[in-house]
Chain A
Amino acid sequence: GQNIDQPTEMTATEGAIVQINCTYQTSGFNGLFWYQQHAGEAPTFLSYNVLDGLEEKGRFSSFLSRSKGYSYLLLKELQMKDSASYLCAVMDSNYQLIWGAGTKLIIKP
């Protein structure tokens, strides 16, 4: 079966760095996405990785290792507004997105 695993909840301090991991087992791979979702709001796109390596975009970076079925989202200089759920999703061989349950990130002052 297809499976996306990510931690349920993480806590970090304002100004610090946090890494949210995602491991996946899917039928085929056509890219991995990270989305941010604030409570009661729609998910918004953060990043897309299809090749191995690190993609940096401002305070957010995303890493992919296809051989390990592993990705992480790195958030630097954390701000209170970064408190949200972070969803990992993999596009399978049918070009459908398989979603993880999300990681709830709590930022403390």
Chain B
Amino acid sequence: GAGVSQSPRYKVAKRGQDVALRCDPISGHVSLFWYQQALGQGPEFLTYFQNEAQLDKSGLPSDRFFAERPEGSVSTLKIQRTQQEDSAVYLCASSLGDLAGGTGELFFGEGSRLTVL
């Protein structure tokens, strides 16, 4: 597609429910990031993929969070046993090369807004 696509755009989950958020990066983009953004705050890093390899998952807040990108394109962020503090917008971004190879300009999707009741 022309841009980064995320689904669902909005998700309401009951506490304890598992959710899966999908990201379709720009075709051919090597790098893929997941961020968590709370209202009025900047994006907080969750995890980074270079192709199918998850090179950095230091930002994942707990072992309830899991991300994968098995074929180096589409990525899924899974949150198990959701808690109210997980309510946020989850942003996916992709970049053409690995960040060491260029300006690192990121192209963002419009995000998935998760509300946990």
CA of A44 to CA of B66 in the docked complex: distance in angstroms? 26
Given contacts A45-B106, A48-B105, A91-B104, contact A99 B111 (CB under 8 A): no
The answer to whether B110 and A33 have CB atoms under 8 Å apart is no
CB-CB under 8 A from B44, the residues of chain A are: 99
CB B103 to nearest CB in A, in angstroms, measures: 5
State A48–B103 Cα separation when bound (angstroms): 7
Residue of A nearest to B4 (CB): A42
How many residues of B are in contact with the other chain, CB < 8 A?
Answer: 24
A94 contacts which chain B residues (CB < 8 A)? Answer: 56
CB of A96 closer than 8 Å to a CB of B: yes
- Within A35-74, which residues are at the interface with B (CB < 8 Å)? 41-45, 48
Q: Given A41-B110, A91-B99, are A31 and B40 neighbors across the interface (CB < 8 Å)?
A: no
Least CB distance, A49 to chain B, in whole angstroms = 10
Chain A positions within 8 Å of B40 at CB level: 101-102, 104
Contact (A42, B110) CB under 8 Å given A96-B45, A99-B43: yes
Q: Give the chain A neighbours of B100 by CB distance below 8 A.
A: 95
Residues of A within 8 A of B43 (CB): 43, 87, 99
Total number of A residues with any Cβ neighbor in B under 8 Å: 23
Q: A45 near B42 (CB under 8 angstroms)?
A: no
A84 CB contacts on chain B under 8 angstroms: none
**Would you list which residues of chain B between 100 and 117 have a CB under 8 Å from chain A?**
100, 103-111
- Cα distance, A102 to B56, chains bound together (Å): 24
Determine whether B62 belongs to the interface, using a CB cutoff of 8 Å to chain A. Answer: no
Verify if A105 is at the interface (C-beta below 8 Å from B): no
Which residues of B from 78 to 117 have beta carbons under 8 Å from A? 91, 98-100, 103-111
Q: Which residues of A contact B42 (CB under 8 A)?
A: 4, 87, 89, 99-102
- Beta-carbon contact of A33 and B108 below 8 Å: no
**The 8 nearest A-B residue pairs measured at CB:** A99-B42, A42-B108, A95-B99, A101-B42, A42-B110, A48-B103, A45-B105, A99-B43
User: What would 8 A/B residue contacts be, using CB atoms closer than 8 Å?
Assistant: A30-B99, A31-B104, A33-B104, A33-B105, A95-B104, A97-B33, A99-B43, A99-B44
